[in-house]
Amino acid sequence: MAAEASRDSGAIVRVRGLRYRAGGRDIFAGVDLDFPRGAVTAVMGPSGSGKTTLLRLVTGQVRPDAGKVEFDGQDVAELSREALYRMRRRMGMLFQNGALLTDLDVYENIAFPLREHTRLPERLVRHLVLTKLQAVGLRGAARLMPAELSGGMGRRVALARAIVMDPELLIYDEPFVGLDPISMGVVLRLIRRLNDTLGVSSIVVSHDVREITAVADHCHLLSGGLIVASGPPAEVAASSREDVRQFMHGLPDGPVPFHYPAPDYADQARKVG
Amino acid sequence: MAGAIRELRSSFEDAIGALGRYALFAGRLAAETPRALLRFRLVVEQVHNAGALSLVIIMLSGLFVGMVLGLQGYDLLERFGSEESLGTAAALGLLKELGPVITALLFAGRAGTALASELGLMRATDQIAAIEMMAVDPVRRVVMPRFLGGVIAMPLLAAIFSMIGLYGAQLVGVQLMGVDQGQFWSQMRGAVELGDVMEGVLKSGVFGVACSLVAVYEGYHSQPTAEGVGRATTRTVVISSVSVLLLDYMLTAVML
């Protein structure tokens, strides 16, 4: 039934009534979300709003306290270890820093999932690896070690690795952090192009509003453990809610105060004196 | 007083908990061993990392320990007029005690810390999470080859240590102090039995398991921060060294 509901809704990932506590506070206090098939969906929110935790819940790295997260109709928290690994083979994830295996070169990093999960002849492995490297424009870097790559190149190699098993869902965790404008433009274009040409669905977690609104079809804005806005990026940017406006337009003060909670300044100054 | 008892109880409970976690992890590694041995190329790479890269420090230390043994042994045995037994004393000391123990301590300091910091950094830089996300079990793919590499390398290093140590003892005893070369080797061959050699092999095998287990456990479970990796490395050396000395006493008491 659940699987049918999820497929009917056209969502590859469905989150319902999600509650999750960590470090003594509610990260999610009853969140409902849909990630449509075939679309690039952005999850935005201030630092510490639980964006990366949401990805960890979607990929089954942590379990929710209440509610459920479904991938293609399957409740992720209910899956056995084997079923979870089967599910992850249908996903590709790009980590914030690339997370390339530092003892393997670029070629072997991309070949890693193929070697672990298949018994393909070396000729075919080579063909697949070079095809994916060509897709991210780094075929010439196949024999470089991760330490020899720039931040942007590392991110693109990690992207090639994420797509080598032909996943149905691509997950990007803060893909633009620390990139120069050129690399950022390259990664942005790749996110869109890979989504459209490979026919996958994409979830992009980011707080780079301008970049992400340029590439996403939908976006969800997280704040205070809840979804405060959802919809096409232009619609969310035009929201009249103060907290949404503060985030989307980068205002230094607003519902999220500039000052960390502190006792009265004058009182504190007198005490020190 | 009540606070002190409470604290003691809590430390005791923590220690028991840690021991339990170590035992569970060791059980998992034992269960994974047959499958890991099938991918022997990965294990060989790690034997190279843990063993071959530790060779210089092991050989140098073995030489110096053997030379000191030669000097001290000669000084002691000369008092009883039996300096010809220097070969036997050095061989038994090296094979049964110094070889396995010092090699294990050096192994913990060189290969153990390298293993722990490598795994800790893999955790801190999301490499372990990435492997899990690629639907690959990191214990099977990353931890097992490193553990087995350490277990295999340790007895080999201990054997090399003892061999070089004997050469060092001979160098000082025979070449420097003038002990008869024929007596040195013949007395040693007459007195050292296979059981003595096996005692050393068994000890170094046990120490290899202990040091490798501590290193991979601490590295794999380290906090994903620079401080966490540093702490895991320090704990590896401290826990390995204490475990080796404790196990050495227990094994010696059983085998004597």
Residue B135 lies in a domain: yes
Residue A5 has pLDDT above 50, yes or no: no
Domain range enclosing B206: 43-255
- B132 CB near a chain A CB, below 8 Å? yes
Contacts of B141 in chain A (CB under 8 A): 116
Asked if the Cβ–Cβ distance from A100 to B133 is below 8 Å, we say: no
Residue B37 lies in a domain: no
- B129 CB near a chain A CB, below 8 Å? yes
Asked if the Cβ–Cβ distance from A61 to B141 is below 8 Å, we say: no
Residue for token digits 């227990």?
B250
- State percent of chain A over pLDDT 70: 93
Asked if the Cβ–Cβ distance from B134 to A116 is below 8 Å, we say: yes
Q: Residue A233's pLDDT is what?
A: 85
Of A15-24, A47-56, A94-103, B208-217, which has the strongest mean pLDDT?
A: B208-217
Asked if the Cβ–Cβ distance from A97 to B126 is below 8 Å, we say: yes
Q: Distance between CA B46 and CA B41 in Å, rounded? A: 9
Asked if the Cβ–Cβ distance from A96 to B141 is below 8 Å, we say: no
- A88 CB near a chain B CB, below 8 Å? yes
Q: Residue A247's pLDDT is what?
A: 75
Domain ranges of chain A: 2-100+168-272
Q: Where are the alpha helices (DSSP H) in chain B?
A: 2-38, 40-50, 55-79, 86-92, 99-107, 113-124, 127-133, 138, 144-170, 181-191, 194-220, 226-255
Contacts of A89 in chain B (CB under 8 A): 135
Closest to A44 measured CA to CA, from A243, A184, A253: A243
> What are B168-194's pLDDT values in tens digits?
999 999 999 989 999 999 999 999 999
Q: What's the first-to-final CA gap in chain B, in angstroms? A: 43
Better pLDDT: A264 or A58: A58
Whether ipTM > 0.90 holds is no
Band (A272; pLDDT cuts 50, 70, 90):
low
Measure in Å the smallest separation between the Cα of B109 and chain A Cα atoms: 21
Measure in Å the smallest separation between the Cα of A86 and chain B Cα atoms: 7
Q: Which DSSP symbol is given to B192?
A: -
Measure in Å the smallest separation between the Cα of A87 and chain B Cα atoms: 8
Residue B3 lies in a domain: no
Q: Distance between CA B217 and CA B200 in Å, rounded? A: 25
Q: Distance between CA A70 and CA A60 in Å, rounded? A: 10
Measure in Å the smallest separation between the Cα of B131 and chain A Cα atoms: 9
Most B CBs within 10 Å, among A71, A89, A90, A116, to test the B interface: A116
Residue A258 has pLDDT above 70, yes or no: no
pTM: 0.85
Residue B1 lies in a domain: no
Burial class (CB in 10 A: 0-12, 13-18, 19+), A211: buried
Q: Distance between CA A153 and CA B46 in Å, rounded? A: 29
Residue A243 has pLDDT above 80, yes or no: no
Q: Within 13 Å, how many C-alpha atoms sit on residue B43's CB side?
A: 18
- B53 CB near a chain A CB, below 8 Å? no
Q: Residue B116's pLDDT is what?
A: 96
- Chain A, chain B: beta-carbon pairs less than 8 Å apart: 51
Residue A8 has pLDDT above 70, yes or no: no
Number of domains in chain B: 1
Band (A96; pLDDT cuts 50, 70, 90):
confident
Measure in Å the smallest separation between the Cα of A101 and chain B Cα atoms: 6
Residue for token digits 């690959």?
B136
Query: How many beta carbons lie within 10 A of that of residue B183, not counting itself?
Result: 17
Residue B14 lies in a domain: no
Closest to B71 measured CA to CA, from B190, B168, B191, B189: B168
Domain A2-100+168-272 has CATH 3.40.50.300: yes
- A52 CB near a chain B CB, below 8 Å? no
Q: State which H helix or E strand residue A202 sits in.
A: strand A201-205
Q: Residue A9's pLDDT is what?
A: 55
Contacts of B133 in chain A (CB under 8 A): 59, 61, 88, 91, 93, 95
Asked if the Cβ–Cβ distance from A88 to B133 is below 8 Å, we say: yes
Measure in Å the smallest separation between the Cα of B129 and chain A Cα atoms: 8
Residue B69 lies in a domain: yes
Asked if the Cβ–Cβ distance from B134 to A96 is below 8 Å, we say: no
- B136 CB near a chain A CB, below 8 Å? yes
One pLDDT digit (tens) per residue for chain B, 256 residues: 788 888 888 888 888 998 999 999 999 999 999 999 988 999 999 999 999 989 999 999 999 999 999 999 999 999 998 888 999 999 999 999 999 999 999 999 999 999 999 999 999 999 999 999 999 999 999 999 999 999 999 999 999 999 999 999 999 999 999 899 999 999 999 999 999 999 999 999 999 999 999 999 999 999 999 999 999 999 999 999 999 999 999 999 998 7
Task: List the strands of the sheet with A201-205, edge to edge.
Answer: A91-94, A169-173, A201-205, A40-44, A218-223, A226-231
Measure in Å the smallest separation between the Cα of B127 and chain A Cα atoms: 5
- B5 CB near a chain A CB, below 8 Å? no
Contacts of B143 in chain A (CB under 8 A): none
Band (A2; pLDDT cuts 50, 70, 90):
very low
- B194 CB near a chain A CB, below 8 Å? no
Q: Distance between CA B15 and CA A154 in Å, rounded? A: 42
- A149 CB near a chain B CB, below 8 Å? no
